[in-house]
Amino acid sequence: MSKYKCSLLVVDDEPYILTTLSAFLREEFEVLTADCAEQAQSLFAQREIDLVLSDQKMPRQTGVQLLEWVRQHHPKTVRLLMTGFAELEEAVEAINRGQVFRYIFKPWRPEELLEILRNATRSFILERSHEQLLQELRQLNLELEQRVAQRTKELEETNHELEQKNKMLEKLALTDPLTSLPNRRAMDRLAERELRRRDRYPSPLAIALIDVDHFKEINARYLLPGGDKVLIDLAKALQGSLRTVDLLGRIGGEEFLVIAPETNMEGAVVIGERIRSTVENTQFSYKDQIIPVRVSLGFAVAESPETADYEGMKHIAAAALAEAKATGRNRCIFYSVAVRPFEQAG
């Protein structure tokens, strides 16, 4: 037997039955007694009862009626019925209406009654244990679902954070830290993308290399902080002199690259002169000292029907820039991918 002592409500309208069963069963059960169905219902309203053993023949309400009420209002209570009449109809009614655990005939033998009650106790305890296990299982499943949901949320947040960091790292990898312009790698990608677009939709394209004239002298005189300040301000001046469709990047040291889509030779001349004159007319300073800044530009221009590749255009632009440097600086030299160079002095 389990150490748990089940509560047992005995319902009978004969006092000696209640006294006898209470004395006989109190060692193994917490025995409660009621002499009618109404008193039994009152006890149910006050506390939980594990087993109920009711006589059938009682005034006002029969045992079957009481057990049917117990089944409806306290379905976990194990129900037993005892009677001195063994009619089959009563047994069937007790089973169908009250759904009794056992049907016990009077007079009962003590050992038989005790064994029946012990079996009822085992059934109650097993049922309760089963319900507890189910409840524990439901709780564990709920906790598991909550942990999985929390873990999923944490993973989603971690993945989002990682994605944001990756985007940030990718941006940093493609950004010049001094000027915040696209760096060489980014400009290479942008130029290749523009050339692929040009292959699908033929149109003119210009690429320009821009170099600061005598930048070593600026660095020597104003040291690295002064040189950096000039480059930062120069990036802003260059950006302000370009169209919204043009792309500007710093590709190293004092050298910048411009990608100008939909730009033929005539358009390149306009852009180049605007860049050169903007820089020439911009006041650069460091620690209240005015620093004159000039730039030289070399353009490579591919007209609509001409085929061009990025490395080839960069090589042509570099050659044009070298000529601008060699012929006096502060000027633009324009090379066509297909024809002789065109020069415009500052």
Tell me which residues are annotated as active site: 254
CB distance 44 to 76 below 8 Å: no
Q: Which residues contact 82 (CB under 8 A, 6 or more apart)?
A: 12, 53, 54, 55, 56, 63, 103, 104, 105, 106, 108
- 32 by Cβ neighbours in 10 Å (0-12 / 13-18 / 19+) ranks as buried
CB distance 285 to 200 below 8 Å: no
Q: Alpha-carbon distance 126 to 25, whole Å?
A: 21
CB distance 291 to 309 below 8 Å: no
Tracing tokens 């300073």 back to the chain, one arrives at 285
Which letter, b or e, does each residue of 100-122 get, where b requires 16 or more Cβ atoms within 10 Å of its Cβ? bbbbbeeeeeeeebbebbeebbe
Partners of 259 in beta bridges:
207, 247
Q: Alpha-carbon distance 143 to 136, whole Å?
A: 10
> Would you state the structure tokens that stand for residue 6, as one six-digit string?
């089940």
Q: Which residues contact 251 (CB under 8 A, 6 or more apart)?
A: 183, 184, 187, 257
Query: To 5 degrees, how large is the angle CA 322–CA 327–CA 333?
Result: 60
